[in-house]
Amino acid sequence: MNPFSLEGKTALVTGANTGIGQAIAAALGRAGAEVICAGRSSCAETVGLIAGSKGKAREMVLDFADPMAARDVFAAEPVDILVNNAGIIRRADAVDFTEADWDEVMDVNLKAVFFTCQAFGRAVLGRGGNGKIVNIASLLSFQGGIRVPSYTASKHGVAGITKLLANEWAAKGINVNAIAPGYIETNNTEALRADPVRNKAILERIPAGRWGQASDIGEAAVFLASPAANYIHGAVLNVDGGWLAR
């Protein structure tokens, strides 16, 4: 048996329409999972990528501006693997940061993550099954950053929730872990990469000497979702080219 195979499993990936979420969905599909690609906008491109590599996928509309958007999803259909990737960011100096920007980010990045995990956990435990949760944290689960107060707070919270749920569910057949991506080539980092000064400073700090690819996160998610990671609980895996080790 291949310990990295996801054959026979169903996975739901939030924010699967682009970037890291799309790469995770595609990687899970290549590993054999049937992938439900969830997003607030169309995930047709991601579904097409998975189908093009002979995988199974379908899309689902979920907008986590409502943190309870997934409350009924897992009761309706059995899901074995949940990847909480959907997230937003707002940037402003701390002295100017608005309550609206705080609440919007916390709702999507933290409140929705917890209540989506809760709905998944209830369904898996209710059927006496096993499940895997992979939450997408951040380097800012460990560092402060600048001008992103609600994002930093939310990602610290994701790391904490991951550990709390692991403590409660590890003995009950659910693995809860997280991935902390480093600087990845996505639309969200395009401005940084286009700025010669910032790009140079970032690359000089990364021991690997390159920006990460979204696929780097996708393959890490396959590992944490697979039987190979059955004894891993409450971990926050840094996939950062060595950034935090510097």
Q: What is the structure's pLDDT at 189?
A: 87
Q: What is the structure's pLDDT at 94?
A: 98
Active site residue 151: yes
Query: How confident is the model over 208-223, as pLDDT tens digits?
Result: 999 999 999 999 999 9
Beta bridge partners of 13: 37, 83
**Type of residue numbered 90:** R
Q: How far is CA 11 from the centre of its chain?
A: 12
pLDDT bucket at 92, cuts 50 / 70 / 90: very high
- To the question of pTM greater than 0.95 for the whole model, the response is yes
Q: What is the structure's pLDDT at 191?
A: 84
Q: What is the structure's pLDDT at 52?
A: 96
Query: How confident is the model over 96-116, as pLDDT tens digits?
Result: 999 999 999 999 999 999 999
pLDDT bucket at 13, cuts 50 / 70 / 90: very high
Query: How confident is the model over 164-203, as pLDDT tens digits?
Result: 999 999 999 999 999 999 999 998 888 889 999 999 999 9
- Given the residues 151, 183, 211, 223, the one annotated as active site: 151
Q: What is the structure's pLDDT at 76?
A: 85
> How much is the mean pLDDT over the chain?
97
Give the integer Cα–Cα distance in Å for 43 and 107.
22
**Type of residue numbered 39:** G
Query: How confident is the model over 22-42, as pLDDT tens digits?
Result: 999 999 999 999 999 999 999
Q: What is the structure's pLDDT at 192?
A: 87
Q: What is the structure's pLDDT at 243?
A: 98
Q: What is the structure's pLDDT at 135?
A: 99
Q: What is the CATH number of domain 10-237?
A: 3.40.50.720
Beta bridge partners of 61: 39
Query: How confident is the model over 75-84, as pLDDT tens digits?
Result: 988 999 999 9
Phi, psi of 62 (to 5 degrees): -140, 120
Query: How confident is the model over 113-164, as pLDDT tens digits?
Result: 999 999 999 999 999 999 999 999 999 999 999 999 999 999 999 999 999 9
